[in-house]
């Protein structure tokens, strides 16, 4: 998988039709050398020891014309086609400026050649072929630097693909044979030896081992994994021999998703980048006006001098550095994020994060571990506790929700006979319904009972809820048969995470579908003052909209039940990186499922914005001083800025912007 550089089109053609820049640069550089040796610099003869420039021999000026014409059409073609694209889209910017500069230089040089050879041989009108050559080569060099910098920024993520081995050990009964990884399919059973890399995403079906996922997720310590645990392709197996069943490979694998996320993020235009493009557009019109004005004002000094001033203005005003100021920083930032477990799907989130005022968070699986264990089973009717738990386990056998996992685990632990359930359907924001032994049952939450005014032992339920448990009720028709109370544990980093958010001036708010008493208990443990309980997915969306009336909202959830609110929020952050919903709706995905990594995201966002501001100043600020100099404002004091120096200054700003972007790093929280 490789980056599509053509998709990174900044400023209406800036990166389009660039062809093989490396080849164009080297060919143009080679052609430029004889042009410089044979051309007269600003009407001067130069002595370099035994070498005297220009080198003159019969037909040397014709050779300069031929080589310069080749340079204009070969080396300058990317800029001419880029300018055409910009003008067609009515967005003149940097490519139009470059095209204008080289066209004016070439056109005037042709005029000078005709005048000197056919019309007025003794007038000696100075041409700008040498400046045309240097301008094209410097511009190609700048674009090559840009392409290399963008590729370097993106390759940090693409290198993840190299983590996958070429071969996999495929298990066939009692035998094992090696097979090219490209032929491995989902469902294939693979054996991974100690110290080897995981060939693909999978689930352990045999053995146990410590798995180092640091190269993939950024998590330093090895994680102990056994049967049923998932592994990520590219992670390193530790001390044990394990067998996995492949769950994702190729385009469906985790690494492929990482690269797609980053490439998608890098292809999106951000607001700040749009501003940079606008500045480039304004700069075009300013340069055009000042260049024409300089031409008019310098006309008394001669046509050649007037053209030189105009060409210099066009050269110095080229917003090449401005155009790559934002893309380079974003490319660098998204790749840093990806290698630190932060998959930034929408790079707009990096810019919006600096204005975040509220952090809305789901409780289960976000602030808590999401690993529920049954604290008690209560029966309110004739059925026993065991029958209540077995019936609920039957219905939950069709669900992977954390509450369902806890109920199924309890049934297994108590060695209950769990009957088969049929016609199981999800009740949105409520629970499940289905048929067990021909009888229709429902598993619902406390809010459902209240909304339908169903009677149950509220005193006992409230006591268990007040202790921090989540409650699930079993219904048969309108009768509440029993209840299961399940406890969850706070993530070790959640309390410190909440405290740090407050310190940064961000208000943390917990949103949960759980009952009020449980939510209150958890909120108290975390030091939260704002929370909303018993929320359905649409209620969470309403909460996000309500808080958005007062400021920028970040929403953190598991990416499944919280999908609507993740999409509604200014920045949606999904906990866990495996679900399709998380990828489709979240702006940022946290690989480690640790809310504390949001602090790393906020830190990266601040550093990114700081670099963007710096690069915008480097990319555009120098024009404030340089354009007047190019127009000749200091000519009365003897300072004249030549087109070649103008090109060098522009190229220098480009290099500074690229190097500045590459110094971006993440200061982990």
Q: How far apart are CA 169 and CA 179, in angstroms?
A: 6
* Helix (H), strand (E) at residue 79: helix 77-88
Cα-based distances in Å from 497 to 357, 453, 504, 526, 555: 15, 39, 11, 9, 15
**Would you say the C-alpha torsion 507, 510, 516, 519 has a positive or negative sign?**
negative
Q: What is the DSSP letter of 448?
A: H
To 5 degrees, how large is the angle CA 303–CA 305–CA 311? 100
| 378 bridge partner residues | 483
The angle that helices 643-662 and 597-616 make with each other, rounded to 10 degrees, is 170
To 5 degrees, how large is the angle CA 245–CA 249–CA 255? 120
For tokens 């301008």, the residue is 135
Q: How far apart are CA 376 and CA 457, in angstroms?
A: 14
Q: Is 659 left (phi over 0), alpha (psi -120 to 50) or beta?
A: alpha
To 5 degrees, how large is the angle CA 530–CA 535–CA 540? 75
Question: Are 208 and 247 spatial neighbours (Cβ–Cβ below 8 Å)?
Answer: no
Q: Is 341 left (phi over 0), alpha (psi -120 to 50) or beta?
A: left
Q: What is the DSSP letter of 173?
A: T
Q: How far apart are CA 116 and CA 124, in angstroms?
A: 6
DSSP SS3 for 289: helix
Closest to 76 (Cα-Cα) out of 40, 52, 102: 102
DSSP SS3 for 578: coil
Q: How far apart are CA 185 and CA 175, in angstroms?
A: 18
Q: Is 567 left (phi over 0), alpha (psi -120 to 50) or beta?
A: alpha
Q: Determine how many CB atoms are found less than 10 A away from the CB of residue 4.
A: 10
For tokens 């219905």, the residue is 395
* Helix (H), strand (E) at residue 641: none
Q: How far apart are CA 42 and CA 310, in angstroms?
A: 16
Radius of gyration of the chain (CA): 33
| 46 bridge partner residues | 53
Active site residue 382: no
Closest to 380 (Cα-Cα) out of 253, 466, 473: 473
Question: Are 217 and 592 spatial neighbours (Cβ–Cβ below 8 Å)?
Answer: yes
Question: Are 653 and 622 spatial neighbours (Cβ–Cβ below 8 Å)?
Answer: yes
Question: Are 230 and 203 spatial neighbours (Cβ–Cβ below 8 Å)?
Answer: yes
Q: How far apart are CA 532 and CA 452, in angstroms?
A: 21
β-strand pairing of 571-575 with 552-557: parallel
Largest CA distance in the chain: 118
Considering 127, 201, 362, 488, which one is annotated as catalytic?
362
Question: Are 276 and 657 spatial neighbours (Cβ–Cβ below 8 Å)?
Answer: no
Residues marked as catalytic: 362
């Amino acid at each position: 998988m490789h980056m599509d550089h053509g998709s990174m089109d900044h400023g209406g053609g800036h990166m389009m039709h660039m062809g093989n820049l490396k080849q164009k640069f080297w060919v143009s550089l080679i052609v430029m050398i004889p042009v410089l040796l044979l051309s007269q610099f600003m009407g001067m003869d130069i002595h370099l020891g035994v070498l005297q420039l220009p080198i003159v021999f019969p037909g040397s000026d014709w050779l300069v014309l031929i080589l310069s014409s080749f340079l204009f059409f070969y080396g300058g073609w990317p800029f001419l086609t880029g300018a055409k694209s910009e003008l067609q889209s009515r967005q003149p910017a940097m490519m139009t400026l470059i095209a204008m500069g080289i066209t004016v230089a070439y056109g005037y040089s042709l005029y000078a050649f005709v005048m000197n050879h056919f019309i007025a041989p003794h007038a000696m009108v100075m041409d700008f072929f040498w400046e045309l050559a240097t301008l094209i080569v410097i511009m190609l060099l700048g674009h090559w630097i840009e392409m290399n910098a963008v590729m370097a920024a993106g390759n940090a993520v693409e290198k993840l693909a190299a983590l996958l081995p070429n071969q996999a050990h495929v298990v066939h009964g009692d035998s094992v044979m090696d097979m090219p990884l490209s032929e491995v399919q989902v469902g294939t059973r693979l054996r991974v030896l100690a110290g080897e890399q995981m060939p693909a995403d999978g689930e352990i079906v045999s053995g146990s081992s410590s798995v180092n996922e640091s190269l993939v997720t950024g998590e330093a310590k090895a994680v102990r994994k056994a049967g049923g645990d998932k592994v990520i392709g590219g992670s390193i197996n530790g001390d044990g021999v394990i067998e996995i069943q492949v769950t994702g490979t190729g385009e469906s694998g985790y690494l492929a998703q990482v690269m797609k996320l980053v490439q998608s993020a890098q292809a999106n235009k951000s607001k700040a980048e749009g501003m940079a493009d606008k500045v480039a557009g304004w700069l075009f019109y300013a340069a055009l006006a000042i260049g024409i004005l300089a031409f008019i004002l310098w006309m008394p000094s001669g046509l050649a001098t007037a053209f030189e001033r105009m060409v210099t203005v066009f050269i110095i005003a080229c917003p090449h550095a401005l155009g790559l100021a934002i893309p380079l920083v974003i490319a660098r930032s998204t790749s840093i994020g990806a290698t630190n477990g932060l998959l930034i799907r929408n790079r707009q989130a990096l810019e919006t994060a600096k204005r975040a005022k509220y952090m809305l968070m789901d409780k289960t699986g976000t602030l808590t571990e999401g690993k529920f264990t049954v604290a008690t089973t209560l029966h309110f009717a004739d059925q026993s506790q065991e029958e209540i738990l077995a019936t609920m386990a039957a219905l939950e056998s069709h669900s992977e929700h954390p509450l369902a996992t806890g109920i199924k685990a309890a049934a297994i632990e108590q060695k209950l006979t769990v009957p088969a359930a049929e016609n199981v359907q999800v009740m949105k924001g409520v629970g499940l319904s289905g048929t067990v032994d021909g009888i229709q049952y429902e598993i619902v939450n406390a809010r459902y009972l209240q909304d339908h005014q169903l009677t149950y032992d509220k005193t006992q339920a409230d006591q268990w809820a007040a202790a921090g448990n989540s409650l699930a009720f079993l219904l048969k028709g309108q009768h509440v048969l029993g209840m299961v109370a399940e406890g969850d544990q706070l993530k070790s980093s959640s309390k410190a995470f909440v405290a740090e958010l407050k310190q940064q001036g961000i208000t943390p708010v917990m949103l949960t579908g759980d009952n009020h008493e449980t939510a209150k208990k958890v909120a108290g443990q975390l030091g939260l003052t704002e929370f909303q309980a018993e929320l359905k997915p649409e209620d969470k969306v309403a909460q996000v909209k309500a808080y958005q009336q007062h400021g920028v909202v970040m929403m953190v959830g598991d990416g499944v039940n919280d999908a609507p609110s993740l999409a509604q929020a200014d920045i949606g952050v999904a906990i866990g990186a495996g679900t399709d919903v998380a990828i489709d709706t979240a702006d940022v995905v946290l690989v480690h499922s640790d809310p504390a990594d949001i602090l790393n995201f906020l830190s990266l966002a601040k550093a990114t914005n700081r670099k963007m501001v710096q690069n915008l100043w480097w990319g555009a600020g120098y024009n404030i001083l340089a354009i007047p100099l190019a127009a000749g404002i200091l000519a009365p004091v003897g300072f004249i800025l030549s087109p070649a120096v103008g090109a060098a200054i522009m190229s220098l700003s480009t290099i500074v912007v690229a190097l500045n972007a590459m110094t971006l790093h993440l200061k982990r929280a």
